[in-house]
Amino acid sequence: MAAETKQTMYEGSDVQSFQFYLQHSGEHEAILQFLMKHLPEEFKRIAANKSSLGVLGVGSGGGEVDVQMLSLLQSTCSSLPITADIVEGSTELVANFKALVAENDNLQKIPFTWHVMLSEDYRKQVKDVKKYDFIHMIQMIYYVDDVTETIRFYHNILNKNGRLMIIVEKASCGWDILWRTFSKELCNETIPVYRSSQDVLASLNTLGLKFEEHSIPNTFDITECFDPNSETGERLLRFMTATNDFSQSFTPQIRADILNLLRSKCSTEKEGKIYFNSGLSFIFVHA
């Protein structure tokens, strides 16, 4: 499909759905808590013997996590100038990112280059791609055509001692079980094939790259998904199944089967609440 007609998942009402999910899932908080603990030492290793640092964010969304990482990099490596390139296909999320930068005096000291395009288009269209010290891909590997070639490309543009950070849904987590079980019903033009950390690790092993993997535990309350009269439940199900209207997008039997799977295989129950297992994998790839 031509680049100008291919859509990302997050435009228009999908941005609102994504932001609603973030408010209820605590996903960004779980990621940031992990990163704030583990990244400072990694940043020090990356910065060793460097006179400047180049960062590339791929699929950075609205920038909520990026601005925190960049602020952490600034405080950890305060003597080094930093540049940041951002690749993101959603114009609305890029606007959100720019607004966050505008609110932060320290981040305004960083020269940003904005590439408003999909990762696939960046790989094909951008000429004379420079090299970077830190490249991160957070929750975006689901949208690329070829995982192995995508990792190969970004790994090849790492500077010496650089790192590629990938955060992806963990194998056997609730997302993995849901999307692999109902791949026929859920996979579409935006996400034609579901991927989890299992697929990323397979690609890394195929490429013979050195990496480390860590778990980022997270759960969130999906109890209202089982109340057919709950607007919150419907909105969560819309995001979780990447559909415009969960209650109308599937047959009654498929809806029942999805809800049964969510409750029995993807979640745990505690004190009358149902908590979805949304664990993530943090993968750090060495240059």
pLDDT reported for residue 70 = 98
Q: Identify the pLDDT of residue 10.
A: 57
CA atoms within 13 A on the CB side of 56: 24
Q: pLDDT at position 5, please?
A: 31
Return the SS3 of 223: helix
Token pair for 137: 């891909």
Per-residue pLDDT reduced to its tens digit, 120-140:
899 888 777 789 999 999 999
Positions in the chain short of pLDDT 70? 1-13
* pLDDT score recorded for residue 188: 84
The whole-number pLDDT of residue 4 equals 31
Give all domains of the chain, ordered by start, each with its CATH number: 13-171+191-218+279-286 (3.40.50.150)
pLDDT number for residue 124: 86
Q: How far is CA 40 from CA 53, 73, 128, 238, 257, in A?
A: 14, 7, 30, 36, 44
- pTM confidence score: 0.92
